[in-house]
A = this chain, B = another copy of it.
Amino acid sequence: MSTSPEKPVTDGPKSAHVPRHSPKRVVIVGGGFGGLAVARNLRHEAVDVTLIDRRNYHLFQPLLYQVATAALSPADIAEPIRRVLRSQKNAQVLLGAVNAVSLQDQLVHWDGGIVHYDYLVLAAGATHAYFGHDEWSTRAPGLKTADDALEIRRRVLLAFESAEMEDDLEARRAQLTFVVVGGGPTGVELAGALREIAVESIQRDFRRVDTATARIVLVEGQPRLLSSMRDASSRRAREDLERMGVEVRLNTLLTDIAEDRVVLKRGDEQEMLLARNVIWAAGVRASSLGKTLGVPLDREGRVFVRSDCSLPDHQNAFVIGDMASFLEGRAGARVPGVAQGALQMGEFVARTIRRELTQPSAPREAFRYRDKGSMATIGRAKAVADIGDRSYGGLIAWILWSMIHVAFLVSFRNRLFVMFGWAWSYLAKVKGARLITGDRQPDVKRTAEF
C-alpha cells in the first residue's frame, strides 16, 4: 500500500490550458458497472468527471443472454450513459474509443482528441477470447455487447427457420444442434434458455420440424459446471439442465469448428458432432487498452495493480473491474470477473479519490472484496445460488435471482418493463423479442419443393 500523497499535476507539459485552481479532473474510461460506480460516487465532490465510452449506453450484462435468446429487447437492459449521469452536474460524457493512454503526460488519446487527467480510472472491461483460435470468432460468436446478443438471436432464430426448410435429414440435424462452449454462468444460462425456446416457446409455430428435437450441448473443460460456485450448486445446475434435456459434456474441450460440425475432445477420445450453431461462452481477455500503458500484464491481458487498485508507478491511475489483476494480497486476488467485483472496486476508487481531496497525506486503504454471493439461472423457476455458507436451488433460488437482477437494473423504467416481461413470459411461455434483424438471409438450399 502506498502512503505518498497525490502530486499536483498543474505543472505538467500539456496542462497549460488548465487554470491552477480549477477542480481536478477525473477521467474514467468505460461506462460499465465499474466506471459508472466511480462517476456516481464522485457526484458531490468538487471534481470534473469525464467518462469516455465507445457506446452510448450502459449495459446490464448479466441479462444479456436474455436478449440473445429473444426474451428481452436490448433497450430493456440498457440505459444511455448520458441519462444515468444527466443530473450529475460535475460529469460529462464523451462518446468515442480511447486509443491510448500516456501515463507520463497524464493524457488520454481518444477519437475526439486528447484529454488531460489528474486521476485516471480505466474500466474498459473484457472481451471474449478464443485461446489462440481467433478464426473461430465468425463461426462461434461470443456474448459481450448488445450487438453480439442481436447476432446470436439472429442465428438462433434462423437455425430453426433453416431446419424447417431443410429436406436432408443430416443437414437438418446440424441446423438443430447448438453447441455452447463454456460452462460458466453465461454458458449455463444460454444452454437452459435455448432448450426452453426449443421445447416451450416455438414448438407449435413450426410445421415440418419438431423443434423439441433440437440438441443443446454444453461443453466445459473443467470437471464441473459453474466452477466458481459451490459443489452443490454445480451438481444441481447439471442435474437441472440434464432434466431439461441439455447434454452436458464435462472435462471436454472443443478442438475444431468447421462449417457444419465441431470436434470435441475428452481425454483421448474425440467426437465429431454435426452442428451448425456454436456459441462461445468460454474465456475472456481484458480490453486491449491495457497494452498501451507500457506496464506488465497478466496472461489474460489484465493490468497488474496494487492493493489500492492503482498502478505501481502511477498512484493517480487506477484500473478496475475485468481489466485489473491484483499484484499482492489474498483479498484482491480472488475478485471474480462479475458485476459485483467491478462495482465494489469502482466505489472503492471513488472513496479513495474523495478522501485524498480533503486529506492529501492520509495513507491509502486496501481494496477488499465482499462476496455477496453468486447465482446463475437455469430456466423457468430454476436457478442456483450460493449465499453465505449455503447453496440454494430451484424456485427459491430463481425468485431470489429474479429479484436481485431486477433490483440492480439501473433505471426505474427498465425495472418495470423487465418485471412485466418476465411475468408475462413465465405465464405464457413465450419469448417476446423474436425478430431476425440484419439483412442477411436464411441459409437455404434451392432444392426443396413445397
Contact = CB atoms under 8 A, between A and B. Distances in A.
A432 B75 contact: yes
A414 B424 CA distance: 11
A112 B446 contact: yes
6 contacts: A56-B434, A56-B435, A92-B207, A95-B442, A113-B449, A417-B432
Contact of A73 (B74, B92, B161): B74
A147 interface: yes
A8 to B, nearest CB: 20
Nearest to A82: B205
B434 A111 contact: no
Contacts of A76: 73
Contacts of A113: 446-450
A100 interface: no
Contact of A146 (B86, B95, B435): B435
A441 B86 contact: no
A148 to B, nearest CB: 11
A368 to B, nearest CB: 34
B439 A147 contact: yes
A80 interface: yes
Interface of A: 17, 50, 54-57, 73-76, 78, 80, 82-83, 86-87, 92-97, 111-115, 146-147, 150, 157, 161, 164-165, 202, 204-208, 413-414, 416-417, 420-421, 424, 428, 430, 432-439, 441-442, 444-450
Contacts of A421: 417
A449 B78 CA distance: 29
Q: Which 10 A-B pairs have the closest CB atoms?
A: A82-B205, A73-B73, A75-B433, A95-B161, A113-B448, A92-B207, A73-B75, A80-B434, A112-B444, A86-B205
B161 A437 contact: no
A17 to B, nearest CB: 7
A86 to B, nearest CB: 5
A216 B437 CA distance: 29
